[in-house]
Amino acid sequence: MENNRIKKIGVMTSGGDSPGMNAAIRAVVRACAYYHIKCVGFARGFQGMIDGEYEELNARSVRNIINLGGTFLKSARSKDFLTKEGRAKAAENLKEAEVDGMILIGGDGTFRGGKVFSKEHGIPVIGVPGTIDNDIFGTNFTIGYDTALNTVVEAIDKIRDTASSHNRLFFVEVMGRDAGFIALNSGIGAGAEEILIPEENLGLERLLDSLERSRRSGKTSSIVVVSEGDKIGKNVFELAEYVKENLPRYDAKVTVLGHIQRGGSPSCFDRVLASRLSIKAVELLLDGKRDQMVGMLNNEIESCDLDKALKSKPVMNKDLLRISDILST
Amino acid sequence: MENNRIKKIGVMTSGGDSPGMNAAIRAVVRACAYYHIKCVGFARGFQGMIDGEYEELNARSVRNIINLGGTFLKSARSKDFLTKEGRAKAAENLKEAEVDGMILIGGDGTFRGGKVFSKEHGIPVIGVPGTIDNDIFGTNFTIGYDTALNTVVEAIDKIRDTASSHNRLFFVEVMGRDAGFIALNSGIGAGAEEILIPEENLGLERLLDSLERSRRSGKTSSIVVVSEGDKIGKNVFELAEYVKENLPRYDAKVTVLGHIQRGGSPSCFDRVLASRLSIKAVELLLDGKRDQMVGMLNNEIESCDLDKALKSKPVMNKDLLRISDILST
Amino acid sequence: MENNRIKKIGVMTSGGDSPGMNAAIRAVVRACAYYHIKCVGFARGFQGMIDGEYEELNARSVRNIINLGGTFLKSARSKDFLTKEGRAKAAENLKEAEVDGMILIGGDGTFRGGKVFSKEHGIPVIGVPGTIDNDIFGTNFTIGYDTALNTVVEAIDKIRDTASSHNRLFFVEVMGRDAGFIALNSGIGAGAEEILIPEENLGLERLLDSLERSRRSGKTSSIVVVSEGDKIGKNVFELAEYVKENLPRYDAKVTVLGHIQRGGSPSCFDRVLASRLSIKAVELLLDGKRDQMVGMLNNEIESCDLDKALKSKPVMNKDLLRISDILST
Amino acid sequence: MENNRIKKIGVMTSGGDSPGMNAAIRAVVRACAYYHIKCVGFARGFQGMIDGEYEELNARSVRNIINLGGTFLKSARSKDFLTKEGRAKAAENLKEAEVDGMILIGGDGTFRGGKVFSKEHGIPVIGVPGTIDNDIFGTNFTIGYDTALNTVVEAIDKIRDTASSHNRLFFVEVMGRDAGFIALNSGIGAGAEEILIPEENLGLERLLDSLERSRRSGKTSSIVVVSEGDKIGKNVFELAEYVKENLPRYDAKVTVLGHIQRGGSPSCFDRVLASRLSIKAVELLLDGKRDQMVGMLNNEIESCDLDKALKSKPVMNKDLLRISDILST
């Protein structure tokens, strides 16, 4: 790998944290050590860049963190970085620190900020997709998504224990304001009766029909997985009320899984994904590339322009809705 | 063990289900097989006794269930059993089924029903304490409590990942309407900053002081564990609002753990406890005893009159509040 | 989906069991119910076909099993099925049961038996790849592989706790007699120092060099993941001895993970994979196809001739060895 | 709490590590902060005392470690401490560091060393029982034991998945060279057929009888839990061979769980136990006590002379063998 310009790389995590971010940081740091360049970690995402809060990281700094949830560099959303002044301050700090390129681990808000920053100040950035929502174009999987699916499925397994002991209906709200990836896949994995996602409004009628049909077919308990951003026009508590009114035989309960979905030790899949993507990110910088996002497409590590990643939305596999229908027969 | 009266024992689970109830049923069934008496399982607690819904259980009926959450006999709250007619119907069914004694796995509601039933119809009952709340007198531990503690602590570990990545304050509501056992022990186990329980109103001032002190001492994130039935006069959402208003530096979030606390594979402790208590319950019936509750006191399996168990409340170890204070220094 | 021939489908699991097999059976049964055809389950793989041990399965037969490890239809290796007589007996039983097509969930031994059987007796078979080893051509992932990776990584996380507390070197043997998929991916996920796989003999010298370099670079504990079928010419105990002799500063210990890798509740990934593959298998039969294997290739569900699947070996991504090298810097 | 002598306390972990040791260290440090005294942590047990390897610990040094397995102070067995010179060097270092008392977290080897050291050099020591083996007199539970039981039971749950899928017999070796606590309790919790422990030699005949009886009674798979130090005169591999020879219908396999039993995130029980014991240890020193061990007896935190703890053996509850017999009916 030839490289006559990059001598020091900065790394940060930004936006909502996700399991595997520590594995990603570790891989950036180890790849820098492997290629004999320096690495500094900025705290709290863009805010740490503005505040000049960073430290040098070597191969030993990241030992025994691959299995930890969260991000030891901490994350934050920075209002200051939305201003020209804030970004200028960040650029100044980077120059002072002699950072030749930045690796940004986060979601599309992070990448959007990074693109503007790179254009304004000429510092190359590479995005590594880290978010549990899996809502980034240019990669089949984002870091943390697989772990979040397991967390949701394990939680619903527990809820099913009590649901089936009591012949109850449970509405379980999972994360995903704009994308139904978590709801759809965890719903299938958890054996949910119905799955409500932002991408498709199946209508309240269908929900009642489906639950009624289930009951008549001999099912005594049911789980409905609901995405935060479901399009049915009711939140999870209103849904439960609506069903109780219209299907009085059902004893409907609600659970909102909340922030447990963001934490936890990353799955093997997320650790390997984070490692591969982050090494690629370092290699892209060394190779003179800039303003790219790394991703896993069809099991290969690829890269694309940040612009392209930001302009498009990942396509939900609608066939999974059909799968879910068949499985809840 | 001499026994010239008991030839068939009935078993049921009632009230809120808890992890380890299957292990308890299994132990009842296996103990019956061991002592060469018959065993029948009633579905859905008292309701199944009224509806005559039962089946004979042998040693093989309960294989591979020791590790499963919930209760395969199902549980329910029965309104019919609150009526004299309902109980008479249940007694009739028991006589028809030739059941000589009942083992009731559940909480104090279950035991109360059982006592009335035994008095009215002369059928001996033995109570086995199964509830996650640990709020039964006459035993140091109820079946399911230890598992629930682990579930809560694992969930808060995940929340702490994201809390400390984002420097946030989290309010986590756990089960326990009348008793703070879960909140107090899981709060200590999870390293919570503050713990709010039904038994003690520490006041809002103290909460604000404590959080403010923590922040000044360098803590960047905090967890407050709140029992459903906290006595502070605000629910968990109101508490978070109150803190946000009074301590604007804190970004406070709320998670309600909900029904995941009732499910899951039981811990080793709960499996062994359930097994020991349930075998004792069978042996008490064989020994001619009636209207007793089994319990574990100071690591020994004991029994006491149901009456006594129902008249008293278990004493919360208040020293744990002091422990919690010291640990959140 | 038009279908004028298939009225009843048989399903079985064969070879080493893997997490997700129950999810696969469930999906076969539910898809049959959805398409209004009958389904029978054969016990203990080919042996149950020979012994005529089967039962009809309907949508309710498979409730609450998606989360359970193992296979409720049980699995076995059948010597009788290797004989022409055995297979003839199986075919006879299938005809008597009016089974029009078989779905075989298992590995390449299972598929090989199925192909011979189909050719001899004209009964269409579809293979569903279920094995933790991921060593099947025609699919990027086999059912159970992802769960096994998580099991291994969680076990090594525990071992690392004690390894780093005691500054120890651990050799951990994982499954994989002929394929290093588990070793390579779990090794990266667990942050292993070195990974020994059947596909590549890195030599003992390199192992010693690498460990010695690690020690000098400040690492105080290390994990080496060894595939059962490593090509280095020593088993895991001999390896540990060899290292102790040649690097006396190291306190080397051995753990053989063994059969825990085959069990456990399947990951979300494996549940969704099992569901999608198995529905496709039913649809292929309904569509008049035969002697195919279903697989997931580049995130799409595909199928290929059993012949082709059996003639080829999946290709190990050798780039992962390079990744592992970089990460253990 | 009056205290006119103790101004600084040292803490270390020694012997085999156990889950909860970090929670114990954290509680020592936080209690010191609470009582306004200083705390230093010594690395690698007695060896760090000899090598003068220590650092000051404040309340913030121990944040976010309550949930981590292992011990961040590291542990070791020290040959040097067995010599008078070694201990003199340690005492010198302690005086230089102005340490007024030591808290030793470990097992009986640790306490034995501590007692000799205290006698020779007049530095008060308090022992906190941390070992997975539960083989310490003066406490019902040692730190790490409950977690180890859960680890074993979860591992055997996985093994049972594959055992019952294949109708197999599994011999599972668990830790416990001199004490059968882990084997007996995890065996009951895992639903084992037979449990072999160091305290009781049931004989090979009984094992064969029991397995044969099980098979005839319809059991198709079985688990036998074997303590490392079983008294039957055969190791776990020889046992499996013996059974295969004498009961040829059984397909017997072996799994040695090994060091996974030492690691992992501590259970809630162990975290609370570690916290309570360690706070008590600090308070004993402040109270002028010396050469004591803290323990939990009948749910209360107590202390006893180290001498007494070292002279006695904890009594195994033999009734559990009878329980195990009944449950494997």
Q: How confident is the model at residue A34 (pLDDT cuts 50, 70, 90)?
A: very high
Q: Is the pLDDT of residue B251 over 90?
A: no
Q: Which amino acid is at B96?
A: E
Q: How confident is the model at residue B3 (pLDDT cuts 50, 70, 90)?
A: low
Cβ within 8 Å of C, A 238-277 = 265, 267-269, 271-272, 275-276
Residue among A68, A165, A263 minimizing CB distance to B162: A263
What does the pLDDT average to over C21-32? 98
Instruction: Note the pLDDT of residue A75.
Output: 96
Query: Where do the domains of chain A lie, and which CATH numbers do they carry?
Result: 8-144+266-311 (3.40.50.450), 145-262 (3.40.50.460)
Instruction: Note the pLDDT of residue A130.
Output: 98
Instruction: Note the pLDDT of residue A3.
Output: 63
Which residue in chain D is spatially nearest to B27 when comparing CA positions? D327
Q: Is the pLDDT of residue C126 over 90?
A: yes
Which residue in chain B is spatially nearest to A70 when comparing CA positions? B161
Report how far residue D90's alpha carbon sits from residue D117's, in angstroms, rounded to the nearest whole number: 9
Q: Which residues contact B321 (CB under 8 A, 6 or more apart)?
A: B184, B195, B200
Which residue in chain C is spatially nearest to A272 when comparing CA positions? C189
Provide the 3-class DSSP secondary structure of residue C101. Answer: strand
Least confident of B147-151, C148-152, C312-316, D142-146: C312-316
Which residue in chain C is spatially nearest to D158 when comparing CA positions? C263
**Structure confidence by residue, pLDDT tens digits, B188-222:** 999 999 999 998 888 889 899 999 988 888 888 89
Q: Which residues contact C300 (CB under 8 A, 6 or more apart)?
A: none
Dig out the tokens for C35 from the structure.
């398409």
Dig out the tokens for D192 from the structure.
């084992």
- What amino acid positions of C are annotated as catalytic residues? 133
Instruction: Note the pLDDT of residue A220.
Output: 83
Q: Which helix (H) or strand (E) segment is D263 a member of? A: none
Which chains form contacts with chain D, at 3 or more CB pairs under 8 Å?
Answer: B, C
What single-letter DSSP state applies at residue D130?
A: B
Give which of C151, C268, C321 to mutate to test A binding, by max A Cβ within 10 Å. C268
Q: How confident is the model at residue C4 (pLDDT cuts 50, 70, 90)?
A: low
Q: Which residues of chain D have pLDDT under 50?
A: none
Q: Is the pLDDT of residue B159 over 90?
A: yes
**Structure confidence by residue, pLDDT tens digits, A182-191:** 999 999 999 9
Closest chain A C-alpha to B25 CA, distance in angstroms: 14
Residue among C74, C162, C253 minimizing CB distance to D263: C162
Which chains form contacts with chain C, at 3 or more CB pairs under 8 Å?
Answer: A, D
Closest chain B C-alpha to D186 CA, distance in angstroms: 7
Q: Is the pLDDT of residue B230 over 80?
A: no
- Which residues in C43-64 are b (16+ Cβ under 10 Å) and which e? bbbbbbbbbebbeebebebbbb
On whether any CB of chain B is under 8 Å from the CB of D219, the answer is yes
Cβ of C76 within 8 Å of Cβ of D155? The answer is no
Closest chain B C-alpha to D303 CA, distance in angstroms: 17
Beta strands C252-256 and C169-174 are: parallel
Provide the 3-class DSSP secondary structure of residue A282. Answer: helix
Q: Which residues contact C23 (CB under 8 A, 6 or more apart)?
A: C65, C66, C143, C266, C270, C271, C274, C275, C278
Provide the 3-class DSSP secondary structure of residue C317. Answer: coil
Q: Do the beta carbons of residue A25 and residue A13 sit within 8 Å?
A: yes
Dig out the tokens for A198 from the structure.
């932002």
Cβ within 8 Å of C, A 121-160 = 140, 146, 149-150, 152-154, 157, 160
On whether any CB of chain B is under 8 Å from the CB of D61, the answer is no
What are the C-alpha distances in Å from C294 to residues B238, C30, C125, C127, C143?
53, 17, 11, 6, 11
Q: Is the pLDDT of residue B152 over 80?
A: yes
Q: Using a CB-CB distance cutoff of 8 angstroms, which residues of chain A are in contact with residue B163?
A: 259
ipTM: 0.96
What does the pLDDT average to over A114-134? 97
- Angle, CA of D140, D142 and D145, to the nearest 5°: 110
C221 marked ligand binding residue:
yes
Q: Do the beta carbons of residue B202 and residue B232 sit within 8 Å?
A: yes
Cβ of A150 within 8 Å of Cβ of C267? The answer is yes
Q: Which amino acid is at D218?
A: G
**Structure confidence by residue, pLDDT tens digits, A39-60:** 999 999 999 999 999 999 999 9
Cβ of B69 within 8 Å of Cβ of A155? The answer is no
Instruction: Note the pLDDT of residue D315.
Output: 87
Smallest CA-to-CA distance from A195 within A17, A18, A317 is with A317
Size of interface A-C (CB pairs under 8 A): 138
Which residue in chain A is spatially nearest to C296 when comparing CA positions? A298
Dig out the tokens for A245 from the structure.
């009114």
Cβ within 8 Å of C, A 41-60 = 59-60
- Angle, CA of B244, B226 and D267, to the nearest 5°: 125
Q: Is the pLDDT of residue A163 over 90?
A: yes
**Structure confidence by residue, pLDDT tens digits, A95-113:** 999 999 999 999 999 999 9
Residue for token pair 């279950």: B110
What does the pLDDT average to over A6-10? 97
Instruction: Note the pLDDT of residue A117.
Output: 98
Q: Using a CB-CB distance cutoff of 8 angstroms, which residues of chain A are in contact with residue C150?
A: 150, 267-269
Give the residues across from D127 on adjacent strands. Answer: D104, D293
Closest chain C C-alpha to D266 CA, distance in angstroms: 11
Cβ of D157 within 8 Å of Cβ of B265? The answer is yes
D191 marked ligand binding residue:
yes
For residue D2, the tally of other CB atoms under 10 A from its CB is 6
Residue for token pair 């035991």: B111
Cβ of A165 within 8 Å of Cβ of B255? The answer is no
Q: Using a CB-CB distance cutoff of 8 angstroms, which residues of chain D are in contact with residue B328?
A: 30
Cβ of A255 within 8 Å of Cβ of B258? The answer is yes
Smallest CA-to-CA distance from B159 within A54, A19, A308, C5 is with A19
Q: Is the pLDDT of residue C309 over 90?
A: yes
Q: Which residues contact C236 (CB under 8 A, 6 or more apart)?
A: C171, C172, C173, C226, C230, C254, C256
Q: Is the pLDDT of residue C3 over 70?
A: no
Report how far residue D235's alpha carbon sits from residue A291's, in angstroms, rounded to the nearest whole number: 61
Smallest CA-to-CA distance from A127 within A100, A109, A106 is with A106
Residue among B165, B254, B258 minimizing CB distance to A70: B165
Dig out the tokens for D157 from the structure.
């749950």
SS3 per residue for chain B? CCCCCCCEEEEEECCCCCCCHHHHHHHHHHHHHHCCCEEEEECCCHHHHHHCCEEECCHHHHCCCCCCCCCCCCCCCCCHHHCHHHHHHHHHHHHHCCCCEEEEEECHHHHHHHHHHHHHHCCCEEEEEECCCCCCCCCCCCECHHHHHHHHHHHHHHHHHHHHHHCCEEEEEECCCCCCHHHHHHHHHCCCCEEEECCECCCHHHHHHHHHHHHHCCCCCEEEEEECCCCCCCCHHHHHHHHHHHCCCCCEEEEECHHHHHCCCCCHHHHHHHHHHHHHHHHHHHCCCCCEEEEEECCEEEEEEHHHHHHCCCCCCCHHHHHHHHHCC
Which chains form contacts with chain A, at 3 or more CB pairs under 8 Å?
Answer: B, C
Provide the 3-class DSSP secondary structure of residue A66. Answer: coil
Report how far residue B297's alpha carbon sits from residue D181's, in angstroms, rounded to the nearest whole number: 19
- In chain B, % of residues over pLDDT 70: 99
On whether any CB of chain C is under 8 Å from the CB of A302, the answer is no
Burial group, residue C229, by CB count within 10 angstroms (0-12, 13-18, 19+)? middle
D193 marked ligand binding residue:
yes
A109 marked ligand binding residue:
yes
End-to-end CA gap in chain C: 55
Q: How confident is the model at residue C1 (pLDDT cuts 50, 70, 90)?
A: low
Residue among C27, C146, C154 minimizing CB distance to A269: C146
On whether any CB of chain C is under 8 Å from the CB of D70, the answer is yes
Beta strands D300-305 and D292-297 are: antiparallel
Cβ of C269 within 8 Å of Cβ of A146? The answer is yes
Smallest CA-to-CA distance from D71 within D9, D109, D16, D147 is with D16
Instruction: Note the pLDDT of residue D214.
Output: 86
* Candidate list B133, B135, B146, B230, residue with the active-site label: B133
What single-letter DSSP state applies at residue A114?
A: H
Q: Is the pLDDT of residue A118 over 70?
A: yes
Residue among A33, A157, A272 minimizing CB distance to C67: A157
Q: Is the pLDDT of residue B5 over 90?
A: no
**Structure confidence by residue, pLDDT tens digits, C37-52:** 999 999 999 999 999 9
Q: Using a CB-CB distance cutoff of 8 angstroms, which residues of chain A are in contact with residue C275?
A: 188, 323, 327
Residue among D44, D69, D160 minimizing CB distance to C161: D69
Report how far residue D68's alpha carbon sits from residue C124's, in angstroms, rounded to the nearest whole number: 53
Q: Do the beta carbons of residue A314 and residue A122 sit within 8 Å?
A: no
On whether any CB of chain A is under 8 Å from the CB of C33, the answer is yes
Give which of B162, B225, B268 to mutate to test D binding, by max D Cβ within 10 Å. B268
Least confident of B27-36, C229-238, D101-110: C229-238
Average pLDDT, chain C: 94
Residue among B157, B271, B298 minimizing CB distance to D298: B298
On whether any CB of chain A is under 8 Å from the CB of C186, the answer is yes
Q: Using a CB-CB distance cutoff of 8 angstroms, which residues of chain D are in contact with residue C264?
A: 157-158, 161
Instruction: Note the pLDDT of residue B311.
Output: 95
Instruction: Note the pLDDT of residue C145.
Output: 98
Q: Is the pLDDT of residue A230 over 80?
A: no
* Candidate list D17, D100, D133, D146, residue with the active-site label: D133
**Structure confidence by residue, pLDDT tens digits, B72-108:** 999 998 999 999 999 999 999 999 999 999 999 999 9
Closest chain A C-alpha to C226 CA, distance in angstroms: 17
- The torsion defined by the Cα of C234, C238, C239 and C240, in degrees rounded to 10, comes to 170
